[in-house]
Structure 1
Amino acid sequence: MLEPTPLSGVQIITPRVFSDNRGSFCETYNQDTLASFGIDTAFVQDNQSWSRDAGTIRGLHFQAPPAAQAKLVRVLVGEIWDVAVDIRAGSPTYGQWTGVTLSAANSRQLLIPAGFLHGFVTRVPDCLVAYKCSNVYAPGCEGAVRFDDPDLAIDWGIPAAGAVLSDKDAAAGSFAELQTPFTYEASA
């Protein structure tokens, strides 16, 4: 099932889950199924992160062209609040964010196209998150914005002072300083 969000291109994908007395099964990725929804993103890299503590924030990150990345995010263990922020210059939703709960229990996934910041907060300890990327990691193309930027006013569901951050995320710049490398292209 495909569910749109308020941000054009950001989609919630909920696969069909088959359950019986043994447990459950679902396809977490099927190129043909996504193509039937009009999603033709080719994924070339799989990433996985483990976060020990609840309240761990990873983000807000992006990768600039020529190594821009779309991501397909899902949770293997635990629960997160997953956030995308539109940073496409000229977009009617520039600077707006959307969030969705992803968990091992609900099997939901979030598709985040290139042109968006991405980040998440863990809601429980020991979260294992997996995501597909449409381009390989390119350190020279990475960028970040502070998770608690007042211009974005993202509701992470935790006090900012209690967030567990990497040194790199703690040093991220402000949204106002962002020189976005992305331009909005209206659909025909």
Structure 2
Amino acid sequence: MISGIVITQLREISDGRGAVLHMLRRDAPGFLGFGECYFSEVQPGAVKAWKRHSQQTQNLAVPIGRIRMVIYDDRADSPTCGQLDSIELGRPDRYFRLTVPPGLWYGFTCVSGLPALLVNCADLPHDPAESIQCPIDDPDIPYDWAKHGGSILT
């Protein structure tokens, strides 16, 4: 696993009426603060990539559908520099919180047959000046979305 990435099993309380899905509490280990919380809908096969934050920490979970999250480490001072990892998130068996620290490239694709819903509870409010994006097919990131089942959409 890439240095700094944290995967936390999330609590799900289900009965015949539905489910309560925990995501993040201020007394949770690793909680850094609240900046904003938003949802990102991803259509089957669509890709949203690549983005890197310089200050903001992402806390991601997928309560509906399933996504494949891909993370690339090009931090020169990191013990995992040059490493690429992917993880699937979603219910019923992969309901985790994925914490992505600043400085890592990440992107994701919906791998379920229906749209997926990704929730991000970030520690800082969105500030376009502290993040950068690069093209989905950037040659500096060794991942081919089309080869792994994603359509080349941004």
Of the three residues 89, 93, 101, the one matched with 2:76 is 89
Task: Say which is worse superposed, 141-150 or 104-113, in terms of deviation.
Answer: 141-150
Greater helix fraction, Structure 1 or Structure 2: 1
Which residue does 1:72 correspond to in 2?
59
TM-score by length of 1: 0.70
Alpha-carbon distance change, 70 to 93 in structure 1, aligned in 2, over 3 angstroms? same
User: What are structure 2's unaligned runs of at least 5 residues?
Assistant: none
Amino acid at match of 1:56: A
User: Distance between the aligned counterparts of 2:62 and 2:75, measured in 1?
Assistant: 27
Q: Report if the CA contact (8 A) 1:147-1:154 is conserved.
A: no
Q: Output the CA distance in 1 between the equivalents of 2:121 and 2:4.
A: 16
Distance change >3 Å, CA 159–CA 43, structure 1 → 2 = same
Identity %: 27
* Residues paired across the two proteins, number: 152
Bigger share in strand: 2
2:45 touches 2:110 (CA, 8 Å); kept in 1? yes
Q: Which structure 1 segments of 5+ residues have no match?
A: 1-5, 167-188
1:1-188 correspondence to structure 2 within 5 Å = 6-32=1-27, 34-35=28-29, 39-51=30-42, 53-64=43-54, 68-105=55-92, 106-124=94-112, 125-154=114-143, 156=145, 158-159=146-147, 163-166=151-154
Q: State the Cα deviation string for residues 6-44 of structure 1 (Å, max 9, x = none).
A: 112101111232333434334221221x22xxx142131
More relative contact order in 1 or in 2 (CA 8 Å, sep 6+)?
2
**Cα pair 2:60 2:121 within 8 Å, conserved:** yes
User: Alignment RMSD, CA only?
Assistant: 2.3
The alpha-carbon deviation at position 151 of structure 1 amounts to 4.5
Distance 1:28 1:98 in 2: 22
